[in-house]
Amino acid sequence: MNVRILLGCVLLSAVAPLGAAVEVASPDGRVRFTVDTDAGGHLQYTLASDRVVRIHPSPAGVIVDGVDLGAQAAPGEPRRSAIDETFPWRGDRTTARNRCLVAEIPIQTPTGDGRVTAWTLEVRVFDDGAAFRYRVPGRGPRRVAGESTAWRLPPEATVWFQTSTTSYEEVYRSARAGSLPFEETDKKGAKHRVHLGPPATVTYADGAYGLLTEAALRNYSGLTLRVEGDARLAAAFRDDASGWTHDGELLSPWRVLVLTRDLNGLVNSDVIAALCDPPDPVLFPEGMNTAWIKPGKAICTWIVFGNDGAAWERQKWFVDQCVAVGAEYLLVDGGWQSEQWGWLKGGADPWDRLNQLVAYGRERGVGILLWHAYADRRNDGPGLTTAAAREQFFRRCHDAGVAGVKLDFFESESKAQVEVREEILRLAARYRLAVNFHGVNKPTGEPRTWPNEVTREGIREQEYLLWTELPLSHYGALPFTRMAAGHADFLPGFVRAHYLRNTTVAFQLASIVVYSTPFLCWPEHPEAYLQSAAFPLVRTVPVTWDETRVLPGSVLGETVLMARRKGNQWYVAGLNCRPQPATLSFDLSVLPGASSATEMTVYQEGDRRTNFRVEERRTPPSDGRFSVTVPAGGGVLLHVNPPPQPPPMKK
């Protein structure tokens, strides 16, 4: 007979007897994860926070050599422990914390012919979430057919999701968990089952939030979420639909649900990073702060220039423009390998050209990042699909003095592709190269293990403004969905009318702070920035932060109010992502040090969508209250300057 521990009971101090339910609580007792078996003997789990069920009883299990190890499972006595550590982080804040209670639950599953497979369900419960994974010992190759893992949500909860599971470049939208679309029709008119590409964000009826995704994706196929109906999502692996071969011990990624009471907690959760391994001290002697990994801003040769931007005769001009706008890097994007753009003109060796460019940039303090397609492509030549090709490319980049690479067109998270990307990060680290992945899947905490990953795509970003607009609700969802899981190359900061679409210049300037990333690519023509009143912001805005706060008044999909601190300076951004005008209100008094500031710069709406006003040296409001009414797709940005420091006292 199965025994279910009631929510709110005291955490078991004694070891659970064979077959009994196992409960793991967070350090503060707020989050509780329960493991037992259902009436049919299948392993299942339940997750609750604040005494409210967030995941109703749902199956757990991994399918190995044709056997679902969750079926007829017998949980044993858990081995319990605790973790409490801090580690350096980069992006929203400078440090992260890994604080959780741990249970390693031994499981025995009959596998036929009187045999039993012994394996372990590992559980970690944090004050703001929970995660579990499967550890199956063994030698030699085994066939993994997927998992029986599922997530049964409260039907009345709302799910924010996107449905691309290749490039992850789809628009975020929302639906009730009990009404998620079961089938969709593709462009050819064919119907297919809907799969969600994590992360998906859940808003619960009591105002709590959840972020459903995976962490530490390594040596495994990437997780997608198949809509099953009745508010149930099932683990699926679209890029390995028929399964995959695994050699040796099987260790799955963590299945994660971040659970917070507000949006600030969601954005500031450390759960995903904390579940990943620390960096290799041989490859990264100073970990996240390893000297050759330097965050910064870049001009990209492709965004508004297309492949014309790769023309050899433009490259030194681009370096000069980087100096002018305060960008530390030039990203030489697609087209540089083609004869059409002059790198090979007159029989020239493009690597000799690159050596010249790197030397020119080094003299001016500008590093070079170089684009290359991973896949073989007609216009770009052979890709990097072989180990020999990757070795040769990275060695040449290192010998030329290149600072990093942008690798594109993966568009799969099969186990083989996941392994390739980790091999790329390891090889790039050996050659001291930063990596920007494009045409790629969701982030799962990779920068914790591989600090040389400085950003990635896997998002419907502002590149699409070259052709169309992004829904305002998508802008309002991203900080609390995809970007809550990890950094993203969103390309914020358009300032010319053609690219504003349904936004304003003030919205775009505020976006620079909201959609920040450690490697920030400017999407505009450099001269547009040089001629803009926002030029001082472009030159000086940070790309990494000491602190980030989501402010009261933020509403997922509608309003983003965010403050980021670098040193003693605050940048406070507001985005109106509603289809009608709205008033954005801030209380600066809640930001440490901001209330004592003597002045601030305000970037706000002008009389048209295509212009804006800059008020410098404005006196901050004495009570800290600041409000402004903006149009649909409008925004505001405040740079709150610190008070002047007194001169040092003479001895």
Residue-range domains of the chain with CATH? 22-274 (2.70.98.10), 295-456 (3.20.20.70), 459-651 (3.20.20.70)
Give the percent of the chain with pLDDT over 90. 88
Give residue-wise pLDDT tens across range 101-150: 999 999 999 988 889 999 999 999 999 999 999 999 999 999 999 999 99
| pLDDT range class, residue 593, cuts 50, 70, 90 | confident
More confident residue, 186 or 222: 222
| pLDDT range class, residue 15, cuts 50, 70, 90 | very low
Report yes or no: 546 and 93 within 8 Å, Cβ to Cβ.
yes
CA 182 – CA 228 distance, rounded (Å): 7
Report the range of poorest mean pLDDT among 23-27, 501-505, 589-593, 627-631. Answer: 589-593
Structure confidence at residue 605 (pLDDT): 98
Interval 74-102 mean pLDDT = 97
Query: Average pLDDT, whole number, for the chain?
Result: 94
Structure confidence at residue 647 (pLDDT): 52
Instruction: Count the residues in the chain.
Output: 651
Q: Which helix (H) or strand (E) holds 356?
A: helix 350-363
Give residue-wise pLDDT tens across range 138-162: 999 999 999 999 999 999 999 999 9
The neighbouring-strand residues paired with 101 are 82, 125
Give residue-wise pLDDT tens across range 194-246: 999 999 999 999 999 999 999 999 999 999 999 999 999 999 999 999 999 99
Is 14's pLDDT higher than 70?
no
| pLDDT range class, residue 12, cuts 50, 70, 90 | very low
Structure confidence at residue 10 (pLDDT): 30
Q: What is the pTM of this model?
A: 0.95
Question: Starting from the edge strand earliest in sequence, which strands make up the sheet with 569-576, in order?
Answer: 547-550, 559-566, 569-576, 635-641, 599-605, 612-618
Give residue-wise pLDDT tens across range 555-566: 999 999 999 999
| pLDDT range class, residue 644, cuts 50, 70, 90 | low
Question: Quick one: which of 390, 370, 376 has its CA closest to 302?
Answer: 370
CA 305 – CA 327 distance, rounded (Å): 18
Question: Quick one: which of 555, 521, 485, 493 has its CA closest to 168?
Answer: 485
Q: Which helix (H) or strand (E) holds 389?
A: helix 387-400
Structure confidence at residue 642 (pLDDT): 64
